[in-house]
């Protein structure tokens, strides 16, 4: 919270004015209106020096209540007061006057002890109760063994309880409808995580949402890109999968801006002339193909981002309680509880306050912002990161989420309030993506034609401009294919999709692998037997803050030195504990093996690290193999190039045209 000493006089004036309003002879409705105005003034005074753009009272209030550690009961009262205004019900006016009076005085007492009101009494407010309190479970993993009945209940077996079947129902209608479709197309049993569950007296479970096949982790970015100001459109994921992304200047600037943030965190006094020469190494080919005018325009834009980032790093972060010396750059997390994974731009955790802070950097400008003043896809991305951190920390840790628009000259750091309903929407889209992946794995004509029809550019919502553009690119080429070329394309898409699916979850078995999911599904012993892990390594040299960030680790006596690893392999590094699932309860460091011998392993981290705390706090470390989606993306890119190639080339590729002699041979 910003320094509030300059507002003491204002706080005193608010308190005096409040007293005057309560003593006035004005009508109850007018007094309530005046108190509500004072309440809003107080909230604005509290946050007027915060370098964050608040576009709604809700966002501002959430920020304040989180920062001031307001107790849970008062938080409910604050939101009840906010939702009750403006008020037209005279029957509760006096009640709201008393509530507004209490909330203002309680805030003033927290802000300035001199303004504390002794023996302040909490008013009795009849808050709407959803019913008797039931046992609450945040996430209940298990499998659905029977499809929904007429009342919407499925038969579910909890992973923790074993074989006993219980009745479970998803309360949000869109999830319930989605589940009916899922269980029509996917054979039972189906692994799911029931989210935000209440166990009823009869043992049945009422869940707000569910996560389909949670061990198949979907990129947070991929989910967020399905959202625009007009709403959500899951098919955008399919369009992006089938059409390769072409490099643009905007993408280049985005990569440069991310690099600048990392460098400024490490060198706060860095000047642009100092950093400029290194920018060209990020994408030399793309820079060299620019005209002089385009290059100058690009560099001028980058300078603006640099100036804004430097201000945020050196000033704005501190005002919201983020110490740049204790931040983590580009930390990665796996969250199978919600079926997602991702890499944050900047993460800060205050152990003393049990406070988590997420900052997502965006180089683009605001376009059709939502009610919180944020681009909807950026907002959803941040909310998914919040879910990810919630899953990893497994606690009631307070979280503050921010989006940093580096193109804005002021108030670029915007607060993104946590809204559970929005997180449910994102999980709904994530389940849709899983259904798309499932359909892509099959060569069934009905499912395939259904997906192709979904990406008809005429059926794509108007707000998804880039999705429409890419769908047109696809259909212009696809519509010209002959039947046998369509069959080839269909078969190859299914083949690559199955390989992709296996890389995610694989197949359980003694001589099989669970793909990426084996990181948390397989035991240490199983991993040792498969030579897929280095265990119990000790850091002997930590150069994670260097320009080339490296960490050297020595083998312990009990370490398994025999492995499948080779120099150049991509791996993940994480703290070692006696729990194979610890990888999903901690930040992981994506790395590349630079050196490997019988004594040590040298890793190059993907991102430099300013904060050494995590390396100092953990004595022993594990290394396991990592996987990337890029190889599969290239396969789909190759298919797109195939359907865009000439008829002659396609015929040669498919063997329709027999090999022939070249027209001429040049020496």
Winning range, highest mean pLDDT, from 159-168, 497-506, 587-596: 587-596
Average pLDDT along the chain: 88
Asked whether residue 205 falls in the same domain as residue 109, the answer is no
> Do 31 and 61 fall within a single domain?
yes
Q: Of all residues in the chain, what percent carry a pLDDT higher than 90? A: 54
- Looking at residues 403-416, what average pLDDT do you find? 92
* The pLDDT value given to residue 132: 45
pLDDT of amino acid 509:
58
Of the pLDDT bands very low, low, confident and very high (cuts 50, 70, 90), residue 546 is: very high
Domain-ending residue, one of 181, 212, 243: 212
Same domain, 72 and 159: no
How far is Cα 635 from Cα 613, in angstroms, rounded to an integer? 40
Check whether residue 109 and residue 161 sit in a common domain. Answer: no
Candidate ranges 112-116, 577-581, 586-590; pick with highest mean pLDDT: 586-590
Q: Which residues does residue 601 pair with via DSSP β-bridges, in sequence order?
A: 553, 596
Whether the Cβ atoms of residue 81 and residue 56 lie closer than 8 Å to each other = no
CB atoms within 10 A of CB 139: 19
Torsion, Cα of 575, 577, 580, 582 (10° steps): -50
Total number of domains constituting the chain: 3
**Which DSSP symbol is given to 442?**
-
- Higher per-residue pLDDT: 560 or 477: 477
Q: Is residue 202 part of a domain?
A: yes
The pair of three-digit structure tokens given for residue 151, joined into one six-digit string: 């009342």
Same domain, 186 and 87: no
Q: Which residue has the higher pLDDT, 426 or 442?
A: 426
Q: How confident is the model at residue 124 (pLDDT cuts 50, 70, 90)?
A: confident
**Mind listing the pLDDT tens digit for each residue in 145-161?**
888 888 889 988 888 76
pLDDT at 55: 64
Please report the pLDDT score of residue 52 as a whole number: 64
Integer Cα distance of 28 and 469 in angstroms: 57
Of 127-136, 350-359, 387-396, 622-631, the least confident: 127-136
Q: Could you give the maximum distance between any two Cα atoms of the chain, in Å? A: 104
Q: Mean pLDDT over residues 24-44, rounded?
A: 89
- Whole-number pLDDT of residue 464: 92
Sequence-separated (6 or more) residues with CB below 8 Å from residue 7: 45, 46, 48
Distance CA(85)–CA(96), nearest Å, equals: 9
Query: How much is the pLDDT for 5?
Result: 65
Domain end marker among 61, 83, 115: 115
Average pLDDT of the residues in 154-172: 82
For residue 83, tell me if it sits in a domain.
Answer: yes
Query: What gap in Å lies between CA 120 and CA 517, rounded to an integer?
Result: 54
Query: What pLDDT, on a 0 to 100 scale, did the predictor assign at position 526?
Result: 80
Do residues 140 and 88 both lie within one domain? no
Q: Are residues 36 and 82 in the same domain?
A: yes
Flag whether 346 is in a domain.
Answer: no
Query: CA-CA distance, 383 to 427, in Å (whole number)?
Result: 11
- Same domain as 568, residue 537: yes
Task: Examine the fold and report which residue of 212, 236, 268 is the final residue of a domain before the chain moves on.
Answer: 212
> For the segment 257-316, what is each residue's pLDDT rounded down to a tens digit?
999 999 999 999 999 999 999 999 999 999 999 999 999 999 999 999 999 999 999 999
Phi and psi at 271, nearest 5°, equal: -105, 160
Q: Is residue 407 part of a domain?
A: no
What confidence category does residue 4 fall into, taking pLDDT thresholds of 50, 70 and 90?
low
> How far are the Cα atoms of 178, 218, 496, 560 from residue 632, in angstroms, in the given order?
28, 14, 7, 31
Give residue 34's domain range.
7-115
Report the pLDDT value the prediction gives residue 128, as an integer from 0 to 100.
63
Are residues 619 and 522 both part of a single domain? yes
Query: What's the pLDDT at 133?
Result: 43
Instruction: Give the CATH number, domain containing residue 145.
Output: 2.40.50
Backbone angles phi, psi at 624, to 5 degrees: -135, 165
User: What pLDDT does 162 receive?
Assistant: 58
Residue 170 and residue 79 share a domain: no
pLDDT of residue 163: 59
Tell me whether residue 264 is in a domain. no
* 17 assigned to some structural domain: yes
How many angstroms from the chain centroid is the CA of residue 514?
Answer: 24
Q: Which of 41-50, 53-62, 114-123, 504-513 has the highest mean pLDDT?
A: 41-50
| Mean pLDDT score, 420-440 | 96
Structure tokens at 211: 């996560």
pLDDT value for 57? 76
Percentage of the chain lying above the pLDDT 70 cut:
95
Residue 161, pLDDT score = 65
Given pLDDT bands bounded at 50, 70 and 90, which one contains residue 130?
very low
Q: What is the pLDDT of residue 131?
A: 47
Mean pLDDT value of segment 509-535 = 81
Asked whether residue 218 is assigned to any structural domain, the reply reads no
Q: Is residue 377 part of a domain?
A: no
The answer for residues whose C-beta is within 8 angstroms of residue 45's C-beta and 6 or more apart is: 4, 7, 10, 11, 14
CA angle 65, 323, 71 (to 5 degrees): 20
**What CATH number is attached to the domain comprising 553?**
2.40.30.270
Distances (CA, A) of 102 to 39, 120, 274, 377: 10, 7, 55, 38
The residue behind tokens 């946590």 is: 418
Instruction: Mark whether 521 and 620 lie in a shared domain.
Output: yes
What single string gives the DSSP state of each residue in 153-202? -EEEEETTT-S-EEEEEE-SHHHHHHHHHHHHHSPSSEEEEEEEEEE-TT
The 3 state secondary structure assigned to 285-296 is HHHHCCCHHHHH
Can you read off the two tokens belonging to residue 586? 């901690």
Query: Per-residue pLDDT averaged across 43-48, rounded?
Result: 86
Q: Is the pLDDT of residue 1 over 60?
A: no
């Amino acid at each position: 919270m910003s320094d509030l000493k300059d507002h003491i006089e204002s706080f005193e004036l608010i308190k005096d004015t409040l007293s005057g309003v309560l003593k006035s002879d004005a009508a109850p409705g007018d007094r309530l209106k005046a108190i509500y105005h004072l309440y809003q003034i107080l909230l604005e005074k509290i946050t007027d020096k915060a370098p964050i753009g608040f576009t709604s009272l809700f966002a501002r209030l959430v920020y304040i209540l989180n920062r001031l550690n307001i107790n849970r009961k008062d938080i409910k009262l604050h939101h009840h007061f906010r939702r009750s205004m403006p008020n037209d019900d005279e029957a509760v006016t006096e009640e709201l006057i008393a509530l507004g009076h209490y909330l203002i005085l309680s805030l003033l007492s927290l802000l300035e002890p001199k303004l504390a009101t002794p023996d302040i009494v909490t008013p009795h407010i009849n808050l709407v109760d959803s019913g008797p309190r039931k046992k609450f479970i945040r996430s209940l993993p298990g499998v659905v063994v029977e499809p929904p009945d007429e009342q919407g209940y499925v038969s579910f077996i909890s992973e923790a309880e074993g074989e006993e079947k219980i009745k479970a129902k998803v309360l949000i209608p869109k999830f319930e409808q989605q589940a009916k479709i899922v269980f029509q197309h996917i054979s039972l049993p189906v692994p799911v995580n029931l989210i935000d569950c209440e166990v009823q007296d009869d043992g049945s479970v009422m869940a707000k949402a569910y996560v389909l096949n949670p061990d198949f982790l979907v990129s947070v970015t991929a989910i967020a890109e399905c959202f625009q100001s007009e709403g959500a459109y899951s098919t955008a994921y399919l369009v992006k999968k089938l059409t390769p992304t072409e490099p643009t200047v905007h993408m280049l600037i985005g990569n440069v801006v991310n690099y600048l943030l990392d460098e400024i965190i490490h060198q706060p006094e860095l000047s642009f002339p100092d950093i400029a020469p290194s920018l060209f190494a990020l994408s030399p080919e793309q820079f060299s193909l620019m005209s002089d005018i385009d290059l100058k325009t690009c560099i001028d834009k980058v300078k603006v981002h640099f100036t804004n980032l430097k201000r945020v790093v050196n000033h704005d972060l501190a005002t919201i309680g983020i110490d740049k010396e204790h931040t983590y750059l580009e930390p990665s997390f796996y969250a199978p509880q919600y079926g997602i994974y991702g890499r944050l731009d900047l993460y800060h955790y205050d152990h003393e306050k049990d406070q988590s802070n997420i900052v997502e950097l965006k180089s683009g400008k605001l376009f059709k912002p939502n009610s919180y003043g944020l681009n909807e896809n950026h907002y959803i991305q941040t909310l998914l990161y919040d879910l990810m951190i919630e899953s990893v920390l497994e606690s009631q840790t307070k979280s503050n989420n921010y989006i940093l628009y580096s193109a804005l000259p002021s108030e670029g750091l915007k607060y993104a309030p946590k809204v559970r309903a929005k997180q449910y929407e994102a999980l709904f889209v994530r389940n849709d993506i899983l259904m798309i992946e499932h359909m892509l794995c099959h060569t069934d004509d009905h499912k395939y034609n259904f997906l192709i029809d979904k990406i008809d550019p005429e059926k794509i919502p108007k707000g998804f401009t880039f999705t429409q553009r890419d769908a047109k690119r696809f259909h212009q080429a696809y519509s010209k294919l002959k039947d046998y070329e369509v069959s080839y394309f269909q078969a190859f898409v299914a083949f690559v999709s199955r390989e992709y699916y296996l890389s995610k979850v694989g197949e359980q078995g003694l001589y099989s692998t669970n793909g990426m999911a084996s990181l948390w599904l397989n035991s240490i012993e199983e991993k040792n037997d498969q030579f897929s892990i280095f265990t119990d390594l000790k850091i002997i040299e930590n150069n994670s803050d260097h320009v080339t960030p490296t960490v050297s680790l020595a083998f312990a006596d009990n370490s398994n030195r025999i492995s499948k690893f080779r120099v150049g392999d991509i791996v993940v590094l994480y703290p070692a504990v006696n729990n194979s699932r610890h990888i999903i309860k901690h930040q992981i460091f994506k790395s590349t093996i630079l050196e490997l011998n019988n004594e040590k392993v040298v890793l190059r981290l993907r991102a430099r690290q300013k904060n050494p705390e995590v390396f100092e706090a953990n004595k022993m470390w594990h290394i396991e193999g990592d996987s990337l989606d890029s190889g599969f993306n290239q396969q789909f890119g190759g298919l797109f190039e195939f359907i865009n190639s000439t008829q002659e080339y396609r015929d040669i590729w498919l063997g329709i045209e027999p090999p022939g002699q070249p027209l001429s041979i040049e020496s």
